[in-house]
């Protein structure tokens, strides 16, 4: 499914993958976010996604004119998780409205993990 609208010049269609990529890139601009997460269903472990797979951490649902987003993220230890999530929601809402002309009905943020700085060193 995709988001579609018509104006005087013709029809515009935006794929869910594009909306997910834009949302993922907008979220990555926020302080305290380590990255997007993909949850392995087999063992429930959150996996940090690379830049090329950001959209896999964003679920886009389009129902009629409603666009709903669900993000799975990993945050940096020591940050205010509530504030990081709010910043992400505001940034994605602004970016989709201003750059694409899409109003998101809901933007849900699921924190799948916390990364401790210098982990594994």
pLDDT of residue 46: 73
Nearest to 28 by CA among 37, 39, 17: 37
| Helix ranges restricted to H, 12-109 | 16-27, 81-95
Tell me if 109 sits within 8 A of 93, measured CB to CB: no
Domains of the chain: 2-115 (3.30.70.1350)
Calpha distance 8→74 (Å, rounded):
42
Q: What is the pLDDT along the chain (121 residues), one digit of tens a residue?
A: 677 878 788 888 889 999 999 999 999 999 999 999 986 655 566 778 887 788 889 999 998 888 999 999 999 999 999 999 999 999 999 999 999 889 999 999 999 989 887 655 4
pLDDT of residue 51: 79
């Amino acid at each position: 499914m995709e988001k579609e609208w018509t104006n005087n010049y013709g029809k515009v269609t935006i794929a869910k993958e594009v909306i997910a990529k834009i949302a993922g890139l907008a979220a990555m601009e926020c302080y305290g976010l380590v990255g997007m997460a993909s949850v392995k269903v087999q063992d429930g472990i959150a996996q940090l996604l690379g830049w090329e797979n950001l959209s896999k951490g964003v679920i886009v649902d389009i129902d009629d004119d409603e666009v709903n987003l669900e993000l799975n993220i990993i945050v940096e230890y020591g940050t205010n998780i509530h504030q990081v999530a709010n910043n992400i929601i505001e940034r994605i809402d602004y970016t989709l409205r201003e750059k694409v002309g899409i109003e998101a009905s809901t933007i849900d943020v699921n924190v799948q993990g916390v990364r401790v700085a210098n982990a594994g060193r």
